Amino acid sequence: MLMHLSTWPEVEQFIARSRTIVVPIGSNEQHGPTGLLGTDWLCPEIIALEAERTADILVAPTFNIGMAQHHLAFAGTISLRPSTFIAAIGDWIRSLTGHGFEKILFLNGHGGNIASIEAAFSEVYADASFAKRRAGYALKLCNWWDLPGVGELAREQFPSGHGAHATPSEIAITQWALPHARKSAHYAPQIAPSGPIREALEFRARYPDGRVGSDPGQATPEKGEALVKLAAQSLAQELDAFSLEPVPA
Ligand code: NI
């Protein structure tokens, strides 16, 4: 069930049978010369939608702007600073727990979001901790590439040139789901340089076309399809296991 295509009575009925929800979360940021700006929010959304086709799960609207300050020297990137992002995630969580959701799984598509999502969880748990009361809910962060089996498959598909940003695995996923938006370019060098990630102008100087360590030329829609099918299956299993975890009230 997709929250944005449901009515409030339908969501209320869902809560009567399940208190678990998945929130795709990502970023709108440059992904090199051929990667879509939406790559990091499209990938978790595509995987959640695929899981929803066969499992009785509820998918929240995608949180599609994240912590991408280091990509701001490239056109089209939209970022929240960490403090804004943390505050916004907190209000999403408080909205959902207020309706009775007890298990919220954030399916993340952007490495730069991880620290802020974890910090947001700590901020929200602090509401209960400082008041010396039980939270009554549990929060979980899952990066799509860490879902069981997915990292192994990506390493098999792309033994070299996977890299850290504008990776062939994420680009393959968008090529499969959105064939009309597929782009091509000549990559020079074929595998982008690797190194640290700091602020925006330094990033652009170090990684002129926006890629980090990757060769997106290895992406194909067929590889993307295999990644999505496996990730969707793993997500449904993760959600099942998470639902069964006890949360003392
Ligand atoms: Ni990405």
> Checking DSSP bridges between strand 138-143 and strand 103-108, what pairing results, if any?
parallel
pLDDT cut 90: percent of the chain above it: 99
Q: Round to whole Å and give the CA distance between 134 and 202.
A: 44
Q: What is the tens place of the pLDDT at every residue in 34-45?
A: 999 999 999 999
Distance of CA 6 from the midpoint of ligand 1 (Å): 29
Direct distance between the N- and C-terminal alpha carbons of the chain, in angstroms, rounded to an integer: 26
DSSP 89: H
| pLDDT value, residue 160 | 97
Distance 39 CA to ligand 1 centre (A): 6
Confidence (pTM): 0.98
User: Domain 3-157+228-244, what fold?
Assistant: Rossmann fold (3.40.50)
Residue 77 has pLDDT above 90, yes or no: yes
CB neighbours of residue 40 within 10 Å: 30
Bond preceding residue 189 cis, omega within 30 of 0: yes
pLDDT in tens, 156-209: 999 999 999 999 999 999 999 999 999 999 999 999 999 999 999 999 999 999
Distance between Cα 171 and ligand 1 center (Å): 8
